[in-house]
Amino acid sequence: MKKFFYSRKAAPYVFVLPFVLTVLLFWIGPIYKGVVLSFQDVMKDEWVGFANYKRLLTDRIFWIAVKNSAKYMVVTCLLLIPFPLLFAVLLNSKLMKRPGLFKSIYFLPALTSVVVAGTVFRLMFGEAPESLMNQLLALFGMEPIKWLKQGGTGFFALVLLCCWRWTGVNIMYFLAGIQAIPADLYEAAEIDGASKFGQFRFITVPLVKPTTIYVLTISIYAGLSMFLESFMLWKGNNSPNFIGMTIVGYLYRQGIEKRAMGYACAVGIVLLILVMIINLIQLKLNGTFDRKED
């Protein structure tokens, strides 16, 4: 046995074995079980075939959840990629004093519990005139509004919570990518007379592309699978007129609240397929699959 573990041929397999077991137990296994359950009525212990998927096609609330999640994903991607990149460039510049302090400040929201953050934002966007956002409106002579009971303002609160929480994380990703770029490239560009904007456009943006693709990939997944932020902001899974209902929120309603586990598994499988399709398309468009190793 000792000879086996010290073998150069066996060592790579030994090191990778914990990862393989983790994937099998906590990813492949649950997905397989979810696929099987999606073809069943779990409460009646009956095989129903594609009945759960056919039901999804005519389920109005499900399509509202898909629309809400898709809109949330698009908006958060548009905000949480360009702005963190610009902030990372600023933090990496020589003009920035005490960058470590600002890194800590930006990253601090990510360490805050979603439960705590959601509760705080729910109080900020409360209906009472004393809530923070209504006090800001009062400064401009405007009447208090019911922020979380209207589609536009409720969505604004949800996106603001997301940006507050995850901007710092994406800044750290982009900052790591920028600092991996050789300084010689910037020095050569500066000698050639390139402006700061030119250096950003022709050096930073192209060379930080792998980081951008990674951030985009995880942002697509995070946007479509968002649940807890909405759950805490509306203090449950029952937002007015389903303005905060997401795909995972609908899965939770069907599987946990209504105990329709088979139907909930069908929702989860559709979400998995949707995330994979969108990410495969964007990876293809970004040229990830076209790269050839030297």
Pair 23, 167 in one domain: no
pLDDT at 19: 85
Pair 146, 25 in one domain: no
Per-residue pLDDT of the chain in tens (294 residues, 90 and over written 9): 566 656 677 777 778 888 888 888 888 888 899 999 999 988 888 899 999 999 999 999 999 999 999 999 999 999 999 999 999 998 888 777 887 888 888 888 988 899 999 999 999 999 999 999 999 999 998 999 999 999 899 999 999 999 999 999 999 999 999 999 998 998 898 888 888 889 999 999 999 999 999 999 999 999 999 999 999 999 888 899 999 999 999 999 999 998 899 999 999 999 999 999 999 999 888 887 775 544
- Residue-range definition of the domain harbouring residue 201: 50-293
pLDDT at 3: 65
Pair 66, 19 in one domain: no
Pair 8, 116 in one domain: no
pLDDT at 273: 93
Pair 7, 100 in one domain: no
Pair 69, 169 in one domain: yes
Pair 155, 282 in one domain: yes
Pair 16, 78 in one domain: no
Q: What angle do CA 46, 52, 53 make, to 5 degrees?
A: 140
Q: Is residue 210 part of a domain?
A: yes
Q: What angle do CA 227, 231, 233 make, to 5 degrees?
A: 120
Pair 179, 283 in one domain: yes
- Report the domain count for the chain: 2
Pair 244, 162 in one domain: yes
Cβ atoms of 163 and 76 within 8 Å: the answer is: yes
Q: In the numeric block, which tokens belong to residue 246? A: 């997401």
Which residue type sits at 286?
N
Cβ atoms of 250 and 66 within 8 Å: the answer is: no
Q: In the numeric block, which tokens belong to residue 148? A: 């979380």
Contacts of residue 155, defined as CB under 8 A and 6 or more positions apart, other chains included, come to 71, 72, 243
Provide the CATH number for the domain around residue 268. Answer: 1.10.3720.10
Pair 17, 154 in one domain: no
